[in-house]
Amino acid sequence: MDSEIIGKLIQKGTTEGHAVLEHLVERGLLQSKGEKRGRVYHLAAPIYAKLGLPREYVRSRGFEPIQQEQMILQYIDAHAKITRAEASSLCMITVYQASKKLKKMCDKGLIQMVGKPPKGAYYIRAIKK
């Protein structure tokens, strides 16, 4: 969940939704992941434990950045290319977060972009020189 969704649920704006979510983080009921527009929230580990669903915490929390990189590289190895939407779905992150992740991987020299963003771009393994 994110600030925009919560803002709609409480029939207020995104700013108010963000304030509510941050208050719940401070109280230890939620944990946050990401930055700015890509920030998402999920229940804290103790809440899942009290509900008897400790494994769901790991699923809801998602993958660590290094795991996401490896998943993207494995996907490219299997399918020759990946788009932002595919990376988003694969890593269970927003398209905005996927864009940032793919850009960082390009900057590291792991992958390279082909085509023009946003709609025509896809990513392949970087060609070694």
Q: Please tell me the distance from the alpha carbon of residue 96 to that of residue 91, in angstroms, as a whole number.
A: 12
* pLDDT tens per residue across span 6-26: 888 899 988 898 899 999 999
**CB burial string 35-56: b at 16+ within 10 A, e below:** eeebbbbbbbbebbeeeeeeeb
Assign residue 97 the CATH number of its domain.
1.10.10.10
The pLDDT value given to residue 59:
66
Task: Give the helix/strand (H/E) hosting 31.
Answer: strand 30-33
Decide if pLDDT at 35 tops 90.
no
Average pLDDT over residues 36-61: 81
The reported pTM is 0.59
The pLDDT value given to residue 62:
66
- DSSP assignment letter at 23: H
Task: Give the helix/strand (H/E) hosting 115.
Answer: none
Domain that holds residue 83: 65-125
How many domains, the chain?
Answer: 2
Decide if pLDDT at 112 tops 90.
yes
Final residue of a structural domain among 13, 40, 61? 61
Q: Domain check: are 81 and 116 in the same one?
A: yes
